[in-house]
Amino acid sequence: MPELPEVETIARGLSKRVTGDTIESVWIGSRHQPLKSPAQEIAATLDGATIARVRRVGKQIVFDLESPRGRAQWIVHLGMTGKMLVAPPELPVEKHTHLIARLASGREVRFVDPRMFGKLSVVPEHGFRAAGEEPLDVGVELFAGLFRRRKTPIKSALLNQKLLSGIGNIYADESLFRARVRPRRRAASLTRDELKRLYHAVQEVLNEAIAAGGSSVSDYVDAEGEPGFFQLQHRVYQRTGEPCLVCRAPIKRVIVAGRGTHYCPRCQK
DNA sequence: ACTATGTCCTGCGAGC
DNA sequence: TGCTCGCAGGACATAG
């Protein structure tokens, strides 16, 4: 599922291939679940707009658009199974394609999302605000302050996009393992040292994952249709019963915040 | 003001 | 072999 490193990889790929290009026409499928803004409004905003910039904010892809009608932003959240592909027009349109933007260069940007947890919207210029802090930009003091006085499990807090934007199930588990903190620990119970370890673990995991092009665990591919490789470096995620890479104890799986959660019962306190 | 839980959706794999 | 069923989970609604 696309979390910060996957979305970063996709946004970089899109940026490289569509910046400066102009959307000449837009097709939107009849399944409207993935749309947060009305289909008509999305089509009208994209149609004829030039893509000035593509970037990642939290887990969303933000397209800065310029057109004779003014500036706007196209916001794409990939949900669990969303893909943004840059494709030649002759490439067969795969099932669950919800939007196709045809570009002046001849290429197409396609939004594909089988499970339809993804969301598309358009907002006025500068209309989009990230809910929480960027995990890779935040300082250690502000980071630690986010968890103070919170009774919720630390894993739930990591998944809360209003605190930090971009961490999902994979990177929450991997970060907690590296920080040697159990996912069910109450956030407020973490010591200063543990919070510091967690801060560095989050940065390390996210940066390593970006370098590997993200994790391909379900059907994630980047804008060019290429998978990522960070799943090969997962130390706990989906390794239930396998030996911990540090102490050989079998990795445990429990449910926290309704999510499958993996940890080492010996290394993580 | 927080926190916990159910819901949306389709594809896939386990189990019979 | 072929079927059914349950699970996967990001964000939000709703309940407590």
Given a cut of 70, is residue A209 above it in pLDDT? yes
In whole angstroms, give the CA distance from residue A264 to residue A242: 10
By C1' distance from the Cα of A166, the closest nucleotide is: C10
C1’ C7 / CA A49, Å: 41
Q: Is A192 a catalytic residue?
A: no
pTM of the predicted model as reported, rounded to 2 decimal places: 0.92
Give A63's strand partners.
A54, A74
Q: Is A3 a catalytic residue?
A: yes
Q: What percent of chain A has pLDDT over 90?
A: 71
Given a cut of 80, is residue A217 above it in pLDDT? no
Q: Which of A73, A70, A98, A71 is nearest to A84 (CA)?
A: A98
In whole angstroms, give the CA distance from residue A47 to residue A41: 10
Q: Is A125 a catalytic residue?
A: no
Positions of strand C less than 7 angstroms from a protein CB: 7-12
Q: H/E element holding A212?
A: none
Given a cut of 70, is residue A10 above it in pLDDT? yes
One DSSP character per residue, A158-177 reads HH-TTTBSS--HHHHHHHHH
Q: H/E element holding A240?
A: none
In whole angstroms, give the CA distance from residue A35 to residue A16: 25
pLDDT at site A218: 62
C1’ C15 / CA A255, Å: 21
pLDDT at site A33: 67
Given a cut of 80, is residue A225 above it in pLDDT? no
pLDDT in tens, A67-89: 998 999 999 999 988 999 999 99
pLDDT in tens, A189-204: 999 999 999 999 999 9
A96 CB-contact burial (10 Å; exposed 0-12 / middle 13-18 / buried 19+) = middle
pLDDT at site A268: 95
Q: Is A59 a catalytic residue?
A: yes
CB A209, CB A7: distance < 8 Å? no
CB A183, CB A170: distance < 8 Å? no
C1’ B9 / CA A193, Å: 41
- Per-residue confidence at A185, pLDDT binned at 50, 70, 90? very high
By C1' distance from the Cα of A79, the closest nucleotide is: C10
Given a cut of 90, is residue A187 above it in pLDDT? yes
Q: What percent of chain A has pLDDT over 70?
A: 99
Contact between the CB of A241 and strand C at under 7 Å: no
Residue among A55, A150, A186, A259 flagged as catalytic: A259
CA distance readout (Å), A55 to A19, A130, A247 = 10, 12, 40
In whole angstroms, give the CA distance from residue A72 to residue A110: 19
